Structure 1
Amino acid sequence: MTTLTAVSEVEFSTLRDNLNVSDSVLSKHLAALGEVRYIKSRKGVHLGRRTTWISMTSTGGKALREHAAVLRELIAGVE
């Protein structure tokens, strides 16, 4: 999710390569994130080949910000 904050959308293969995971692992996680409407995907053509583009939804952005805030609180308690 944090990777998606830096872009309006990202190609599936770029995301896979940046996260250093397999297609199946990324697909599984994206499906779970899609089910709760944190991300959306669209099919398209890039450089003559079919591809999938992934973007974060406003719901996903809100959830990420809330999660980061909780993590900051937890970290602040560590001396």
Structure 2
Amino acid sequence: MKKLNNHFHKAFENRVRLGIMSALVVNETLDFSALKEFLEVTDGNLASHLKALEKEAFIGVSKTFVDRKPNTKYSITAAGKNAFGAHLNALENLIKSHK
């Protein structure tokens, strides 16, 4: 059996974090509600995963008000794009090595 590639990132092992990053790679920004609906998760679950990705500096956060209601938008950072790209490449290489 071949050794696993060391470019996997622990931050992306969870399906919610993987989904957040996937959604942000193809969208410039998404707000909390859009991510919640897309991923079908609770507020608390999404918030905890967003905080973890923010702590890694993989996502950026922008808070504004829309009609006096708070609106939080998220975007992927350059570091996030690089780390997520490396993670996806590692997955691809793993799949290719088992054909």
What range describes the TM-score normalised by the shorter chain of this pair? Answer: over 0.9
Q: Calculate the TM-score normalised by the size of structure 1.
A: 0.93
SS class of match (1:37): coil
Stretches of structure 1 that go unaligned for 5 or more consecutive residues are none
Who is 1:62 aligned against?
82
* Structure holding more strand per residue: 1
Deviation at 1:68, TM superposition (A): 0.3
1:46-66, Cα deviation, whole Å (9 max, x unpaired): 3x1211101100000000000
CA distance in 2, matches of 1:27, 1:59: 20
Q: 1 CA distance for matches of 2:64 and 2:92?
A: 37
Alignment-derived partner of residue 34 in structure 1 = 54
What is the RMSD computed on CA atoms of the aligned residues? Answer: 0.9
Which residue number corresponds to residue 4 of structure 2? none
Q: Does 1:13 align with 2:42?
A: no
Q: Which residue of 2 aligns with 1:23?
A: 43
Name the counterpart of 1:2: 22
| AA aligned opposite 2:23 | T
Deviation track 1:8-41 (CA, whole Å, cap 9, x = no partner) reads: 1111110111000011011100111011100011
Q: Distance in 1 between matches of 2:65 and 2:98?
A: 48
Q: CA deviation at 1:78?
A: 2.3
- Percent identical: 31
| CA distance in 2: counterparts of 1:67 and 1:58, whole angstroms | 14
Structure 2 gap segments, 5+ residues each: 1-20
Which runs of at least 4 in structure 1 moved beyond 4 Å after TM superposition? none
